Copies of this chain bind each other. A is one copy, B any other.
Amino acid sequence: MALIVQKFGGTSVGSIERIKKVAERVARTRREGNDVVVVVSAMAGETDRLISLAHEICKVPDEREYDILVSTGEQVTAPLLAMALKSLGIKAKSFIGFQIGLFTDRAHTKARIVKIETDRIKKELSEGAVVVVAGFQGITEEMEITTLGRGGSDTTAVALASALGADLCEIYTDVEGVYTTDPNICPRARKLKKISYDEMLEMASLGSKVLQTRSVEIAKKYGVPVMVRSSFVDAPGTLVTKEDEEMEKVLVSGVTYNKNEAKISVTRVPDRPGIAARLFGPLAERNINVDMIIQNISHDGYTDMTFTVSKEDFQKALEIVKETAKEIGAEDVIADTEIAKVSVVGTGMRSHSGVAAKMFQALAREGINIMMISTSEIKISCVIDAKYTELAVRTLHDTFELHKEGGRIEEER
């Protein structure tokens, strides 16, 4: 008998019919003799509906109130699933954050889980109940309701799996697993059987919407095996797990893209020590994540700074940066929202060279200009004009022969 955490995303619980299907899936796992904890997202479209209500009230809603509002999405799905399970003769109880002691920090709208009290869940499991948890939300020590950001239910699931010492965390979603790239863009995309935490982390943070970054970080930190699989098709998914030898042989595992970033450039910044801190400090204070940062070489004591933020944070970031730019005597602030970030990811890069050059050549062959470049041990990202996104993805997928299983390494032999 195993303890399994199953998470179902928004489209998986997008209608009453689908919630009933999910109940059948959970019931099967339970009847096989497993203890089951289920984490659910809001029904597809519900979170957006709630957000638009907030935006009808005011342009920049108070974040504390926003969290109380949007956390209701999951609070609707969880009891509906528990009811559906009961209809199938399965004992089930649903819970929201405060009831099971799912504590987070105080960063409203993008809080991080700091502690999960497992007593209540363990008690319910020991009494034979399936425990259904509303994902995406928690409470602070001061009993304030918080949410974990888009995709936060993944994090709820992995954090629960870790806290409970679960044998497996299954993420049921609307795709069959993790692909070499987005199959909607590239028909030759191939489903991966296995992927390392680090690769998944780069894929997730680079825009592949399969798993929330934070959830993969927690899975990696605590060694939680995560299976990504389809709610709709009964097929094996992709196992996100520890790196092994086989993985290291692979040069590039996937190509990802992200159209949800915007670029901000601050021109003619006086190049003094501490100027970067001066520019990015106020953004960090407001909990705005800056992704890529580029600082060009200095001319006459002035430099240009360019960075990207998510489109959600863009307006807020722009206001803050304009303010700071004035204070530090920069010339101008230039924004561009029509950009995309295209990346190649692979554990094998750690021990193989030449991937970057190959990527740049492939993009150049198609006449795609590269605006920004950033690299890590296992990924290379380029910011390009958004209109070339699909072309770039397909070109890179072909260049690294990702349609072939294991074919990604052949070139290097």
Binding site for B on A (CB under 8 A): 16, 19-20, 50, 53-54, 56-58, 61-62, 64-66, 68-69, 71-72, 75-76, 78-80, 82-84, 86-87, 93-94, 96, 98-99, 143-145
Residue of B58, B71, B99 near A87 (CB, 8 A) is B58
Contact in complex: A68, B57 (CB < 8 Å): no
Q: Considering the chains assembled together, what is the distance between the CA atoms of A87 and B62 in angstroms?
A: 9
Q: Considering the chains assembled together, what is the distance between the CA atoms of A145 and B20 in angstroms?
A: 23
Contact in complex: B57, A20 (CB < 8 Å): yes
Chain B contacts of A16 at CB under 8 A? 53, 56-57
Residue of B19, B72, B79 near A66 (CB, 8 A) is B79
Q: Considering the chains assembled together, what is the distance between the CA atoms of A87 and B57 in angstroms?
A: 8
Contact in complex: A99, B143 (CB < 8 Å): yes
Chain B contacts of A94 at CB under 8 A? 65, 68
Contact A69-B79, Cβ < 8 Å, known A86-B58, A87-B58: yes
Q: Considering the chains assembled together, what is the distance between the CA atoms of A56 and B23 in angstroms?
A: 14
Contact A57-B19, Cβ < 8 Å, known A72-B75, A80-B69: yes
Contact in complex: B54, A80 (CB < 8 Å): yes
Q: Considering the chains assembled together, what is the distance between the CA atoms of A86 and B82 in angstroms?
A: 37
6 extra A-B contacts, CB within 8 A, seeds A69-B80, A98-B143: A50-B76, A57-B87, A62-B79, A62-B83, A69-B75, A69-B79
Q: Considering the chains assembled together, what is the distance between the CA atoms of A82 and B67 in angstroms?
A: 12
Pairs A–B under 8 Å by Cβ, sample size 29: A16-B56, A20-B57, A53-B76, A53-B80, A54-B79, A54-B80, A57-B80, A57-B83, A57-B87, A58-B84, A58-B86, A58-B87, A61-B83, A62-B79, A62-B86, A65-B80, A65-B94, A66-B83, A68-B78, A69-B75, A69-B76, A69-B80, A71-B75, A72-B76, A75-B75, A96-B145, A98-B98, A98-B143, A99-B145
